[in-house]
Copies of this chain bind each other. A is one copy, B any other.
């Protein structure tokens, strides 16, 4: 118990929930987990846990993320705090949500089975418990916002990637097709890509050059929107 100078005030259960997003090369996906306890046992939910008295919400989010994915140093950003009285049918719980972007390939099938988790396309989500669907939708919306001003997309792609893959990613984020020529032109003009001498040959006869993200030049990234 901490020294409490605010006696008489009511305490509340506070959880963190992490909406974990990944990209499989074609679609944006969210990593959902089958809930292991009541209420709503075995319903699909995002990953969460209660905040402990010795940790901040950021720390709790990182802990939850690490427990289920084994990952650290992941892109993690606070999203929104949900506090409706009856949002959780088990008790009054306030949930601070975070969204995380991970390299989908780093999350093995083995881990999926261990934790009863599964990737779902954002276009085809299952029924989710409580207000978790709203959380996922808000995460997608935030990703769309961020993509215009931060080079976030790179958190979702493997270290080296082709311009086609990058284009697919932005199409998935915005939900709209982009013009290949205009897209690559703009991307190259931003000066945040470094072309490698290596080609990806699996998906085309000619082969497409790999690129890596040039972090040093990321200071003034301003992509605006990508249209057409």
Identify the A interface with B (CB < 8 A).
2-6, 9-14, 38-39, 50-58, 78, 80-81, 83-85, 90-94, 96
Contacts of A12 in B (CB 8 A): 11-14, 51, 53
**Bound CA span A90–B96, Å:** 22
Please tell me if the beta carbons of A9 and B81 are within 8 angstroms of each other in the complex: no
Please tell me if the beta carbons of B56 and A5 are within 8 angstroms of each other in the complex: no
A91 contacts which of B3, B55, B91, B93 (Cβ < 8 Å)? Answer: B3
Please tell me if the beta carbons of B84 and A56 are within 8 angstroms of each other in the complex: yes
Please tell me if the beta carbons of B85 and A57 are within 8 angstroms of each other in the complex: no
Contacts of A6 in B (CB 8 A): 13, 50, 90-91, 93
**Bound CA span A40–B58, Å:** 26
> What are some 22 contacts across the A-B interface (CB < 8 A)?
A2-B92, A3-B90, A4-B91, A5-B38, A5-B39, A6-B13, A6-B90, A10-B13, A10-B50, A10-B51, A10-B52, A12-B14, A14-B14, A51-B94, A53-B92, A54-B85, A56-B83, A57-B81, A57-B83, A57-B94, A83-B96, A94-B96
In this complex, what residue of B is CB-closest to A54? B85
As for how many copies of this chain the complex holds, the number is 2
Please tell me if the beta carbons of A50 and B92 are within 8 angstroms of each other in the complex: no
**Bound CA span A53–B91, Å:** 11
Contacts of A10 in B (CB 8 A): 13, 50-53
Distance in Å: Cβ of A61 to nearest Cβ of chain B: 10
**Bound CA span A81–B81, Å:** 7
**Bound CA span A55–B84, Å:** 8
The interface centre, meaning the residue of A53, A80, A91 with most chain B CB atoms within 10 A of its CB, is A91
**Bound CA span A5–B6, Å:** 26
In this complex, what residue of B is CB-closest to A89? B5
**Bound CA span A85–B54, Å:** 7
**Bound CA span A65–B80, Å:** 20
Distance in Å: Cβ of A77 to nearest Cβ of chain B: 11
Distance in Å: Cβ of A125 to nearest Cβ of chain B: 24
Contacts of A94 in B (CB 8 A): 14, 51, 57, 96
**Bound CA span A5–B37, Å:** 10
Contacts of A57 in B (CB 8 A): 81, 83, 94
